[in-house]
């Protein structure tokens, strides 16, 4: 590629400067960056709520928080962490990484990714602006009726919670459709499904799971709003409804959701381990089959959240078996990661420390999950601090630790600078150590009879000491978190220059510059195995033929990644933002009156029509080029 062509390519893909560029960009990296930063801000807020709760529980009979304040805290903490942090951050990391790992210039639907972020931001505001105004949802992160129904929850708190979910679920669906289409149809020539990096497998199935699971929660929260707003009786037994319908529909989403969070983390670990163990992942086929097995099984487990509601024994037994079964593919993955480390030449830089922390911590969460999988035993464990411990071990150990490792690992690619190793290691030990100190005692507290969601407890129960230890550990972990964020912020300006491939990794994202230009990479790479940057060290094979003067991406076939055609890629546009604003008005209005659905549909329809108005030529914009060499 000549210098001239390169300049033209950069110009074609560059955003407008300033605020207009910020609002109209469809650059997946910029959108993903603001997505990740927003989720980190939300994680900080949720963490502050958690510290507040831990301070309230540090000793029995504390009076600094009354029940209303405490109930709001745990509801906001759980809802923020699950709906506004865990799922969105995984999608955001996918949004940033997927095109780079595929050697492509953008995702399949660029404007849809912008829409996804704006709608997610709407969800953030939907929950936190009312909190600032004092109308915080206060019934937990899965507000069961009848408590959340019109009779026992007057006002709009429950509606705010339910509609926040709608925002985030539409955003998640948009992101998932985008990622799935990109991974299936936009791989570089030579990257057959059998040679696709495990991270992309993980993102693909997480996206497919999202598409199947999220409609259930949108449906159930809309049914709740309908019960509250227009006197339907989906969940009101006195009028012929069934409270358990809510639980079934919610958990049909809720259980896959935790795997939607966990599988991208599996992808992170599977990207980090080969790089630092200096060998390709052991057991690629076993890993892919395990990922697929987890995906399928995840949809057959939801009743294990309902073992105490009095369903027939035989039904509970089925879900016991299914819940136990999912431990098998997970355990095979654990073996494959450790075997890769064992048989390689590992170095334990910060990202690998996070992998080790993940292995040591997540397995505890998995084992407490195996205990809770037994329906009869779960009747002693569920709704106690044992389950609080379990869920944090799997979500923090199983998703957050890999996420922190991933942030450290790809930080040099995103910013062009290295994070400080020393502060990175210190923040790891503080977070991992603090977390285990804080949450392991909760297993014991649950076995000592402490139920969940209590704003205080009597001194006579003997729970004070372990609660104090739990509070201390949590504080240490938060300190480590602050250190990690400070490290990231400081290294942005003062970190050592990183170069393109500071870890000497094998996958395609490391072929781009650090940070990548708007067009990501000059030529579409052609690969022949799973470790292109190791086996084609001198120069990557590439494919010519994509235009430099218009935005184009290469579309390839699903299984074998044979090049099919050049696809025009959508450029910057304000319509995703305007559409998101219109949808926001519709969603917010519909918790006050059902007519909002009718009248709100008009601006939404207008914005979407403007967005999709055909102004550009159709696809297949020219002949395909030829692979060099």
Partner 1 sequence: MRKALFLLLPRSGCAGRQTPLDPASLQSGQLWSLFQVMLWVCGIAYVLVLSFLGWSIWRARHAMERASPMLNPGDRGIGRGLWGWGVLVGVGLIVLTVASFLADWSIARAERAGALDIRVTGHQWWWRIQYRDRQSGGWIETANELHLPLGRAAHVSLGSADVIHSFWVPNVAGKMDVIPGRVNSLTLTPWRVGWFRGQCAEFCGSQHAHMAFDVKVESPQGFATWLADQRKNVAAPTDPITAQGQKVVTQGPCAACHTLRGTSAQGRAGPDLTHLASRRMLAAGALPMSRGGIQGWVAQPLALKPGTSMPAVPLSSSDAKAVSAYLASLQ
**Binding to partner 1 in span 339-358, by CB under 8 A:** 339, 341-348, 356
CB of 310 to partner 1, least distance (A): 4
CB of 555 to partner 1, least distance (A): 30
CB of 256 to partner 1, least distance (A): 21
List Cβ neighbours of 55 (8 Å cut-off, separation of 6 or more): 62, 64, 471
Stretch that binds partner 1, among 32-40, 170-178, 224-232, 528-536 (CB under 8 A): 528-536
CB of 576 to partner 1, least distance (A): 38
Backbone angles phi and psi of 91, in degrees to 5: -65, -40
What is each CA distance from 488 to 242, 300, 337, 491, in whole angstroms? 49, 40, 27, 5
Tell which one of 85, 93, 225, 506 touches partner 1 (CB under 8 A).
506
Which structure tokens are listed for 520? 């990501």
Q: Does 248 bind partner 1 (CB under 8 A)?
A: no
Stretch that binds partner 1, among 125-133, 173-181, 334-342, 565-573 (CB under 8 A): 334-342
The SS3 of residue 417 is: strand
> Nearer Cβ to partner 1, position 83 or 386?
386
Helix 67-79 to helix 157-185 angle (10° resolution) is: 10
Of 532-551, which residues contact partner 1 (CB under 8 A)? 534-535
The SS3 of residue 554 is: strand
> Nearer Cβ to partner 1, position 440 or 492?
440
- Answer whether 438's CB lies under 8 Å from 370's CB: no
Q: How far apart are alpha carbons 156 and 231 in whole angstroms?
A: 15
Instruction: Please confirm whether the linkage preceding 622 is cis (ω < 30° from 0).
Output: no
The SS3 of residue 596 is: helix
Of 360-419, which residues contact partner 1 (CB under 8 A)? 360, 363-364, 367-368, 370-371, 373-380, 382-384
Stretch that binds partner 1, among 94-102, 118-126, 274-282, 557-565 (CB under 8 A): 274-282
405: left (phi over 0), alpha (psi -120 to 50) or beta: alpha
Stretch that binds partner 1, among 303-311, 406-414, 555-563, 580-588 (CB under 8 A): 303-311
DSSP state of 30: H
Q: Does 327 bind partner 1 (CB under 8 A)?
A: yes
> Nearer Cβ to partner 1, position 256 or 441?
441
Backbone angles phi and psi of 121, in degrees to 5: -60, -40
Q: Does 459 bind partner 1 (CB under 8 A)?
A: yes
Q: How far apart are alpha carbons 221 and 147 in whole angstroms?
A: 14
Of 574-603, which residues contact partner 1 (CB under 8 A)? none
Stretch that binds partner 1, among 44-52, 275-283, 569-577, 610-618 (CB under 8 A): 275-283
Tell which one of 128, 144, 490, 565 touches partner 1 (CB under 8 A).
144
Q: Does 456 bind partner 1 (CB under 8 A)?
A: yes
Q: In which residue are the tokens 């994202």 written?
A: 509
- Answer whether 601's CB lies under 8 Å from 586's CB: yes
> Nearer Cβ to partner 1, position 259 or 457?
457
Q: How many CB atoms lie within 10 A of CB 17?
A: 8
> Nearer Cβ to partner 1, position 7 or 529?
529
Q: In which residue are the tokens 């507290």 written?
A: 445
Which structure tokens are listed for 491? 């290294």
Instruction: Please confirm whether the linkage preceding 20 is cis (ω < 30° from 0).
Output: no
Q: Does 453 bind partner 1 (CB under 8 A)?
A: yes
Q: Does 50 bind partner 1 (CB under 8 A)?
A: no
DSSP state of 413: H
Q: Using CB under 8 A as the criterion, what x/- string covers residues 178-207 for binding partner 1?
A: ------------------------------
Stretch that binds partner 1, among 27-35, 238-246, 555-563, 609-617 (CB under 8 A): 238-246
Q: How far apart are alpha carbons 365 and 397 in whole angstroms?
A: 8
Tell which one of 1, 296, 315, 449 touches partner 1 (CB under 8 A).
449
Stretch that binds partner 1, among 2-10, 527-535, 552-560, 597-605 (CB under 8 A): 527-535
Q: Does 626 bind partner 1 (CB under 8 A)?
A: no
Of 463-492, which residues contact partner 1 (CB under 8 A)? 465
Q: How far apart are alpha carbons 403 and 351 in whole angstroms?
A: 10
- Answer whether 513's CB lies under 8 Å from 500's CB: yes
Which structure tokens are listed for 215? 């409609």
> Nearer Cβ to partner 1, position 95 or 281?
281
CB of 604 to partner 1, least distance (A): 36
Q: Does 71 bind partner 1 (CB under 8 A)?
A: yes
Q: How far apart are alpha carbons 206 and 371 in whole angstroms?
A: 26
Stretch that binds partner 1, among 212-220, 328-336, 569-577, 589-597 (CB under 8 A): 328-336
Tell which one of 11, 37, 48, 68 touches partner 1 (CB under 8 A).
68
Of 83-122, which residues contact partner 1 (CB under 8 A)? none
Q: How far apart are alpha carbons 257 and 491 in whole angstroms?
A: 33
Of 305-324, which residues contact partner 1 (CB under 8 A)? 308-310, 313, 316-317, 320-321, 324
Sign of the four-CA dihedral 69, 71, 76, 77: positive
Q: Does 272 bind partner 1 (CB under 8 A)?
A: no
Stretch that binds partner 1, among 213-221, 302-310, 584-592, 618-626 (CB under 8 A): 302-310
Q: Does 528 bind partner 1 (CB under 8 A)?
A: no
Backbone angles phi and psi of 32, in degrees to 5: -65, -40
> Nearer Cβ to partner 1, position 115 or 385?
385
CA 79 to chain centre: 14
CB of 356 to partner 1, least distance (A): 7
CA atoms within 13 A on the CB side of 232: 13
Q: How far apart are alpha carbons 527 and 525 in whole angstroms?
A: 6
Tell which one of 462, 545, 571, 625 touches partner 1 (CB under 8 A).
462
Q: How far apart are alpha carbons 412 and 499 in whole angstroms?
A: 8
Q: Does 140 bind partner 1 (CB under 8 A)?
A: yes
Give the H/E segment covering residue 88: helix 87-101
- Give how many residues touch partner 1 by CB under 8 A: 91
Which structure tokens are listed for 465? 């000491």
């Amino acid at each position: 590629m000549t210098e001239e062509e390169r300049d033209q390519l950069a110009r074609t893909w560059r955003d407008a400067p300033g605020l207009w560029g910020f609002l109209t960009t469809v650059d997946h990296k910029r959108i993903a960056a603001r997505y990740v930063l927003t989720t980190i801000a939300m994680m900080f807020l949720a963490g502050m709520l958690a510290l507040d709760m831990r301070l309230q529980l540090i000793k029995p009979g504390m009076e600094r928080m009354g029940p209303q304040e405490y109930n709001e805290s745990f509801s906001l903490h759980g809802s923020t962490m699950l709906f506004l942090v865990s799922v969105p951050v995984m999608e955001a990391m996918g949004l940033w990484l997927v095109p780079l790992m595929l050697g492509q210039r953008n995702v399949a639907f660029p404007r849809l990714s912008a829409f996804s972020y704006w709608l997610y931001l709407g969800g953030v505001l939907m929950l936190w602006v009312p909190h600032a105004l004092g109308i915080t949802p206060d019934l937990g992160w899965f507000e069961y009726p009848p408590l959340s129904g019109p009779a026992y929850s007057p006002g709009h708190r429950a509606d705010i919670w339910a509609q926040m979910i709608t925002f985030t679920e539409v955003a998640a669906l948009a992101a998932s459709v985008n990622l799935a289409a990109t991974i299936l149809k936009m791989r570089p020539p030579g990257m057959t499904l059998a040679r696709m990096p495990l991270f992309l497998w993980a993102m693909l199935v997480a996206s497919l799971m999202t598409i199947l699971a999220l409609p259930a929660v949108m449906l159930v929260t809309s049914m709740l709003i309908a019960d509250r707003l227009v006197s339907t009786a989906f969940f009101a037994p006195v009028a012929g409804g069934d409270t358990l319908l809510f639980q079934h529909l919610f958990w049909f989403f809720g259980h896959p959701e935790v795997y939607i969070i966990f599988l991208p983390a599996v992808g992170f670990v599977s990207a980090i381990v080969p790089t630092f163990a200096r060998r390709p992942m052991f057991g690629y086929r076993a890993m892919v089959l395990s990922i697929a097995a987890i995906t399928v099984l995840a949809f057959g487990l939801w009743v294990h959240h309902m073992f105490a509601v009095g369903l027939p024994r035989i039904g509970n037994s089925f879900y016991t078996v299914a819940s136990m079964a999912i431990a098998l593919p997970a355990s095979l993955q654990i073996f494959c990661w450790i075997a890769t480390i064992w048989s390689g030449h590992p170095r334990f830089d910060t990202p690998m420390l996070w992998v080790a922390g993940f292995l040591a911590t997540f397995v505890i969460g998995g084992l407490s999950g195996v205990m809770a999988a037994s329906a009869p035993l779960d009747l002693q464990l569920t709704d106690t601090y044992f389950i609080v411990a379990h869920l944090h071990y799997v979500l923090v150990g199983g998703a957050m630790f890999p996420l922190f490792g991933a942030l450290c690992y790809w930080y040099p690619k995103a910013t062009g600078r290295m994070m400080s190793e020393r502060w990175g290691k210190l923040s790891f030990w503080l977070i991992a150590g603090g977390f285990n100190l804080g949450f392991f005692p909760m297993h014991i507290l649950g076995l000592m009879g402490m139920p969940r969601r209590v704003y205080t407890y009597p001194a006579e129960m003997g729970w004070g000491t372990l609660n104090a230890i739990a509070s201390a550990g949590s504080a240490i972990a938060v300190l480590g978190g602050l250190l990690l964020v400070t490290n990231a912020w400081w290294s942005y300006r003062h970190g050592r220059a990183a170069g393109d491939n500071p870890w000497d990794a094998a996958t395609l994202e490391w072929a781009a510059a650090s940070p990548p230009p708007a067009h990501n990479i000059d030529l579409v790479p052609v690969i022949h195995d799973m470790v292109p940057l190791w086996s084609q060290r001198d120069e990557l094979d590439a494919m010519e033929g994509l235009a430099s003067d218009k935005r184009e991406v290469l579309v390839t076939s699903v299984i074998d990644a044979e090049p099919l055609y050049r696809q025009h890629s959508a450029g910057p546009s304000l319509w995703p933002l305007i559409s998101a604003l219109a949808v926001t008005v519709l969603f917010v209005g519909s918790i006050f009156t059902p007519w909002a659905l009718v009248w709100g549909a008009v601006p939404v329809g207008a914005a979407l029509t403007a967005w999709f108005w055909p102004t550009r030529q159709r696809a297949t914009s020219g002949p395909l080029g030829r692979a060099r060499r």
